[in-house]
Amino acid sequence: MSRTFKLGVLAAAVMAAAPAAQAYEAGDLIGRVGAATVDPDSSSSNLNSAALGEIPGAQVSVDSNTQLGLTLSYMFTDRIALGVLGATPFSHDIEGDGSVLGTKGKLAETKHLPPTFTVQYFPMPGGSKFQPYLGLGVNYTTFFEEKPSQALTDTYASLAAGVTRTDIELDDSVGLAAEIGADYMITKNIGVNAAIWYADIDTEATINAYAGNTKADTSTIDVDIDPLVYMVGVSYKF
């Protein structure tokens, strides 16, 4: 029996005995970190004032922002995982829109955190280096540090004489979320990732206007933010 044949048989036996390399399998935890951009497709109702009624053309929009994104996937099976999206707080300008507020510029700013939970499906076999996935779940968005601009106060002062200051508060939101993404494993544990989420984020903003210490008016406006969230980064399998 030739030496080459013996070595070939031995190599085949070792390969058969060795466990198959798994990219993902049940019990794995995959962490990802990268740049995450919230890009709103925003729209709003007209501003509805307690003192003045509905004001046609008084609408708002929300700008985009990029922060550090963090995600985790816990593999319950080789194909099914629970995904969690987190990030450092996003900061957005709320800007005037429509015929009445469209030239007012920045009316307020807010920060928000959008924790999102999805059930993810990985269609490729566990040993594949390329692992696309789909997810469906729920988004919870909490708003904080809302700050009105001087432009908002000036706008109210033009509508109701004597207004000297304003404040604004945004309600938290719960809505559906969907995602599509992919990991490509460069080594056994390290890979690259790209993902896109859609989140149904709707909030009601309440604006109070004051003349000195007296509340002169309370207004509300419904805002649909409904962003796409884009993230590109690196992944690590624990």
pLDDT, tens digit, for every residue of 77-109? 989 999 999 999 999 999 988 887 878 889 999
Task: Find the range with the poorest average confidence among 33-37, 204-208, 209-213.
Answer: 209-213
User: Rounded mean pLDDT of 128-139?
Assistant: 95
- The domain in which residue 19 lies consists of 3-237
Per the prediction, the chain carries an average pLDDT of 87
Judge whether residue 120 has pLDDT over 60.
yes
Which residues, 6 or more positions from 172, have their beta carbon under 8 angstroms from its beta carbon? 140, 141, 142, 143, 203
Question: What is the predicted pLDDT for the residue at 50?
Answer: 87
Give the integer Cα–Cα distance in Å for 65 and 92. Answer: 6
Q: Which residues contact 108 (CB under 8 A, 6 or more apart)?
A: 93, 94, 146, 147, 148, 149, 152, 168, 205
Confidence of residue 126 (pLDDT cuts 50, 70, 90): confident
Determine how β-strand 90-97 pairs with β-strand 116-121: unpaired
Q: How far is CA 233 from CA 22, 28, 66, 134, 196, in A?
A: 22, 19, 13, 17, 12
Residue 11 has pLDDT above 50, yes or no: no
Could you give phi then psi for residue 26, rounded to 5 degrees? -55, 135
**Residue 13: per-residue pLDDT:** 37
165 contacts: CB under 8 Å, gap ≥ 6: 148, 153, 209, 210
Q: Compute the average pLDDT of residues 34-39.
A: 96
Residue 101 sits in a domain of what CATH number? 2.40.160.20
| Cβ proximity of 189 and 24 under 8 Å | no
Domain count, the chain: 1
Q: Is the pLDDT of residue 22 over 80?
A: no
